[in-house]
Amino acid sequence: MVMISHRLRIFKITLLAITLIGSWAAVFYFFVPLNYYEYPASDESDCLAGEWHDPWYEVCYMDFRCYSDEICDGIDQDYQAMLDDWRHVYSDGDGDFAFLNNFMTTFEDYDGSRAQFDADLWSHVGRIIPDDILDDVADFKVYRKPFSQEYAYVEPMNDAYDQWRFAMNARHPDGIDTEFYSTIIHEIFHILSLNDNQIVTIWDDGKEFCRREGGLLLNREGCVIEGTYLESFYEQFWEGGNFSDRQADYVSWYAMESVEEDAAESFTHFVLEDLIDSSEIESVRDEKIYFFRQFSDLVTMRNEIRQNIKEAHQ
Ligand SMILES: [Zn+2]
């Protein structure tokens, strides 16, 4: 008897809980305003992860709910803070960098055709990329995603990863400024660290290679070979899932995303900031920037990119 009444009580409590949760969900659904953003896109592949595509209206969109103006504003402020994080203030090294603003303008204000804008954008991007990397860039794509925080991306154009597409969101550049350069350098590092001499691709049985020889297995790309830039960075800072969740250990908010992004962001700081000596290391963040000094070819590449930037402004 005792057991039965006990079970009955649990049943009643459960029923009450379900009713309460259900009614709160209903209140939430009907009374919390649904917000969304959308932008024109003819194809589903133009949408980002988490966005939906509406083929009838030809838009990508995302729904989100926020209870009050305060919370909606909070989301907006977080988003702005994240963007500000991206606009790092870089040391101008030997005093030679003069970053120009409003040298170029966003597409909306551009006084010319779309094709001209794309060509103009490439002329600013291409001359910053070092020759070795430029050899691997087979395509420059300009796309338009006004509400996306994504500024640029790179992707291999073949299974061998020796030809790459460099893509840039035309809605972002609002000047040839530090954000513009840091974006290009960030993407340069992706090509540098994931190309055919760093990786056994997933198409070339990268999984099996990593199992046999060790290395860093990236499920989408393949096996990053031991001793390469990215694999060494992984061993030092991320191995065994033993990475830090303190933002102070990263050069930027975005660096916390993955080992690939952490390395690309740290490399960007390595290129744009003054070189530091081992005696000046005060944090994990500094260690990550200092890390790249051990590769003499990366020091050479750093000089080449900095030289390219200086020449672009002469
Ligand atoms: Zn990236």
CA of 190 to the centre of ligand 1 (A): 7
Kindly state whether residue 124 falls inside one of the protein's structural domains.
yes
Same domain, 9 and 112: no
Contacts of 168 (CB under 8 A, 6+ apart): 121, 125, 140, 141, 142, 143, 151, 152, 183
In this structure, the answer to whether residues 21 and 139 fall within a common structural domain is no
What single-letter DSSP state applies at residue 189? H
Please indicate, yes or no, whether residues 22 and 113 belong to a single structural domain of this protein: no
Distance 166 CA to ligand 1 centre (A): 12
223 part of a folded domain = yes
Say if 95 falls within a structural domain. Answer: no
What is residue 86's predicted lDDT score, i.e. its pLDDT?
Answer: 35
> 257: CA distance to ligand 1 center in Å?
9
The pLDDT > 70 percentage for the chain reads: 75
Ligand 1 centroid vs 279 CA: distance in angstroms?
A: 29
Whether 198 and 298 map to the same domain: the answer is yes
146 plus 234 within the same structural domain? yes
Does 43 reside within a domain?
no
| Count of CB atoms situated within 10 Å of the CB of 65 | 13
Q: Provide the number of structural domains found in the chain.
A: 2
Check whether residue 209 and residue 301 sit in a common domain.
yes
Q: Which residues surround ligand 1, an ion (CB under 5 A)?
A: 261, 264
- What pLDDT is recorded for position 58? 79
pLDDT interval class at 5 (50, 70, 90): low
Question: What is the DSSP code (8-state) at residue 274?
Answer: P
166, 306: one domain: yes
* Residue 68 forms part of a structural domain: no
Q: Each residue of 203-256: pLDDT tens digit?
A: 999 999 999 999 999 988 999 999 999 999 999 999 877 677 788 899 988 899
Q: Which of 235, 301, 156 is nearest to 225 (CA)?
A: 235
Identify whether 78 is part of a domain: no
14 shares a domain with 116: no
Clarify whether residues 116 and 206 are in a common domain.
yes
Distance in Å, CA 273 to ligand 1 centroid: 19
Together in a domain, 13 and 150: no
Give a yes or no: residue 65 inside a domain: no
- Residue 53, domain member (yes or no): no
Question: Which residues constitute the domain of residue 269?
Answer: 107-312
CA of 179 to the centre of ligand 1 (A): 13
Contact 241, 251 (CB under 8 A): no
**Burial category of 256 from C-beta neighbours within 10 Å (exposed 0-12, middle 13-18, buried 19 and up):** middle
